[in-house]
Amino acid sequence: MGPLIVYDIISQNTNLLLAFFIGIGFGFVLEQSGFSSSRKLAGMFYGYDTTVLKVFFTAAITAMLGMLFFSLFGWMDLDMVYVNPTYLTSAIIGGIIMGAGFILGGFCPGTSFCAAAIGKIDGMVFIGGLFIGILIFTEGYPLWESLYYAEFMGSPRINEILGLSQGVFGLFLIFAAFAMFWIGEWAEKKFPREIY
């Protein structure tokens, strides 16, 4: 929950409780957005349903604008926001593996739990596959440890890589979101699917 623990504003137990309720809320929003349907999720890749694109871009833009305004008003120090370290090779390989699984199975890890929570068997099977993948990765870790840590890039921020201020990058991201919304609407008309 951000710097609340760092500054002893809340306890570790309160943090876990808040995370639990936020997780339930997040799952509820995913389910209400239709993310428990593997057909709707796979529709993103086939062009007939771009709900995933619209929901996630909207969430990202909302969070980004909130953080930028909180920073502007002095309510938040963006330098304290943790950015995961980037290991380029493993990020690319992991992205390819997860993307292939997403296209084949119709779920990502979060949406598979969302589907399983409402009793969908395909979501439960996908979770089983997820745990098999975790087991294979952990047991075989010595074999690909060097690959996992290849091409360390630190903790870069995209706006810094592009040489842009956070506000200018945010504006470009908003324009990109609107462009993607337009492309999504075009794709849904170009590749319609009558039955879900």
Span 19-33, pLDDT tens digits: 899 988 988 888 888
Note the pLDDT of residue 74.
87
Span 52-100, pLDDT tens digits: 888 888 988 999 999 999 988 888 888 888 888 999 999 999 999 988 8
- The contacts of residue 175 (CB under 8 Å, 6+ apart) are none
Enumerate the domain spans of the chain.
34-190
Is pLDDT at 194 greater than 70 in this prediction?
A: no
Note the pLDDT of residue 93.
93
- pLDDT-based confidence at 1, cuts 50/70/90? very low
Span 34-54, pLDDT tens digits: 888 888 888 888 888 888 888
In this predicted model, which residue has the larger pLDDT, 88 or 6? Answer: 88
According to the 3-state scheme, what is the secondary structure of the chain? CHHHCCCCCCCHHHHHHHHHHHHHHHHHHHHHCCCCCHHHHHHHHHCCCCHHHHHHHHHHHHHHHHHHHHHHCCCCCHHHCCCCCCEHHHHHHHHHHHHHHHHHHCCCHHHHHHHHHCCCHHHHHHHHHHHHHHHHHHHCHHHHHHHHCCCECCCCCHHHHHCCCHHHHHHHHHHHHHHHHHHHHHHHHHCCCCCC
pLDDT over 90 percentage in the chain: 36
Q: Residue 35 CB: number of other CB atoms within 10 A? A: 23
Q: Which two tokens stand for residue 160?
A: 């810094």
